[in-house]
Amino acid sequence: MRRIVLIVVGVAVVLGVAAWFLLAKRGPTGIPVYAASVVATYPHDPQAFTEGLFYRDGLLYESTGEVGTSGFHKQKLETGEVVAQQDLPSPYFGEGIVAWKDKLYEVTWQDHAGFTYDLADFTPRDTFSYPGEGWALTHNGKTLILSDGTPDLRFLDPDTLAQVSTLKVTANGCPVSNLNELEWIEGEIWANIWQTNLIARIDPATGQVRSFLDVSALGPRTRGRDDVPNGVAYDAARKRVFVTGKRWPQLYEIRDGAAESTSAEAAAITQCQH
State the Cα–Cα distance between residues 254 and 237, nearest whole angstrom: 15
Measuring CA to CA, which residue among 224, 267, 243 is closest to residue 24?
Answer: 267
Per-residue pLDDT at 167: 98
Secondary structure class of 56 (helix, strand, coil): strand
Residue 67 pLDDT > 50, yes or no? yes
Confidence of residue 274 (pLDDT cuts 50, 70, 90): confident
What average pLDDT score do residues 74-96 get?
A: 96
Q: Please report, for the domain that includes residue 61, its CATH number.
A: 2.130.10.10
Domain span at residue 254?
A: 31-270
Residue 19 pLDDT > 50, yes or no? no
Tens digits of residue pLDDT in 126-145: 999 999 999 999 999 999 99
Share of the chain above pLDDT 90, in %: 82
Measuring CA to CA, which residue among 202, 195, 146, 139 is closest to residue 175?
Answer: 202
Residue 174 pLDDT > 50, yes or no? yes
Q: Are 147 and 153 in contact (CB under 8 A)?
A: yes
Per-residue pLDDT at 259: 55
Distances (CA, A) of 188 to 129, 183, 208: 27, 8, 11
CA angle 269–271–133, rounded 5-degree value = 40
Q: Does residue 20 lie in a domain region?
A: no
Expressed in angstroms, the distance from the first to the final Cα of the chain is: 49
Tens digits of residue pLDDT in 186-245: 999 999 999 999 999 999 999 999 999 999 999 998 888 889 999 999 999 999 999 999
Signed CA dihedral, 217, 219, 221, 226: sign only: negative
Q: What is the 3-state secondary structure (H, E, C) of 23-43?
A: HHHHCCCCCCEEEEEEEEEEE
Could you give the number of structural domains in the chain?
Answer: 1
Q: Does residue 2 lie in a domain region?
A: no
| Residue 43, burial from CB neighbour count under 10 angstroms (0-12, 13-18, 19+) | middle
What average pLDDT score do residues 42-49 get?
A: 96
What is the rounded average pLDDT for all residues in the chain? 89
Q: Does residue 23 lie in a domain region?
A: no
Q: Does residue 7 lie in a domain region?
A: no
Q: Which residue has the higher pLDDT, 11 or 94?
A: 94
Per-residue pLDDT at 263: 80
**Other C-beta atoms within 10 Å of 13: how many?**
10
Q: Does residue 18 lie in a domain region?
A: no
Q: Which residue has the higher pLDDT, 22 or 264?
A: 264
State the Cα–Cα distance between residues 7 and 125, nearest whole angstrom: 75
Q: Which residue has the higher pLDDT, 189 or 18?
A: 189
Per-residue pLDDT at 18: 39
State the Cα–Cα distance between residues 154 and 207, nearest whole angstrom: 12
Residue 27 pLDDT > 80, yes or no? no
Displacement of CA 155 from its chain's centroid (Å): 16
Confidence of residue 7 (pLDDT cuts 50, 70, 90): very low
Q: Does residue 12 lie in a domain region?
A: no
State the Cα–Cα distance between residues 98 and 31, nearest whole angstrom: 29
Q: Does residue 148 lie in a domain region?
A: yes
State the Cα–Cα distance between residues 76 and 80, nearest whole angstrom: 5
Secondary structure class of 190 (helix, strand, coil): strand
Q: Does residue 24 lie in a domain region?
A: no
